[in-house]
Structure 1
């Protein structure tokens, strides 16, 4: 299982009801806290602030999670020698935008990684077909345009809502199939996630680190996150 990073989560651990009625608990979960929920930014209540909030959340969460890219380095000030941190690998970052809801997310990511290569995948679940007995949706992928991905790259796949994990798994299939070699670092970034989706993506892609701003309570019978925040794309682009 990969590491789960939850920012501003209400609980230090989460449990996920299994299909047998028992409860599974993630035992390899690492948590970090930021004030995003307290500031009201991780769950925006009205547009157009939803777009701005998504932008800020992506930038803040990513900056908080990139410790592995910050080696210590010596620096000279007018007064003395000191030690600081230098962000490395900025030219080896690939950001995948899951259209359309992730567009504000990617805007925030580009503030943290302005020289990143970008790819887009238009993917969405078939709402008319509905969720099957395994909690999965059929996924339609309409468009894929990805840059070259090498072993040295850090790949960030951004989608603000991680519900059942069906869309994210389909996107990761395309990303990894197109890569010349599997990237050393693979991140899945979301704003709000359901335990079921985190567990599914983590089990199918153990090489990925999953970063989320909030883990909500559960999925309803239609596969929506509860309490959630509604359709992230509609909220960001004011189409409802």
Structure 2
């Protein structure tokens, strides 16, 4: 899943039209990826499949995670960060911050991730990427992180009274 999201991010944000001249003086026009330094930040649960998958496609990237001790939904919005791994960029500033969250039910966890990572990296661009989501989460993210771009896959899911996605996601 992470690799596919990474490919979509490259297609939507990092392709640049280039013209080259071959040694035989033929001109070729096309698109090449020009990927600036990206920081890909997830929760600890999403790191191994979503974060690593995106970073494997975005060659010029650093990746890290935050662990909110299992807190989700509204509790995650102000949850204490139990453990955090936010790598320092070496000699460059982060151009694009990518918050990768497999599930956006309420958006609260992604908001907490984004605000903390924004204060750490001060990026020019912010992308929030998800696979399973609700319209409520998109509205909250748009309100709380207004200058971000949101990339989602498929159709939105509904929420139950507890703020959980219907039909729901089981993490194995």
Unaligned runs of 5+ in 1: 1-53, 128-135
Larger RCO (CA under 8 A, 6+ residues apart): 1
Give the TM-score of the pair, scaled to structure 2.
Answer: 0.83
Inter-CA distance 113–56: structure 2 relative to 1 (3 Å threshold): closer
1:111-145 deviation per Cα after TM superposition (whole angstroms, max 9, x unaligned): 32123112211136646xxxxxxxx5112321122
8 Å contact kept, 1:161–1:192: yes
Supply the RMSD in Å over aligned alpha carbons.
2.3
Asked if residue 175 in structure 1 is aligned to residue 112 in structure 2, the reply is no
- Mapping 1:13-162, distance limit 5 Å: 54-66=1-13, 69-77=14-22, 78=24, 80-90=26-36, 92-123=37-68, 126=71, 137-139=74-76, 140=79, 141-148=81-88, 153-162=95-104
Which structure: greater helix fraction? 2
Q: Provide the aligned length of Structure 1 versus Structure 2.
A: 166
Moved beyond 4 Å, runs of 4+ = 149-152
Unaligned runs of 5+ in 2: none
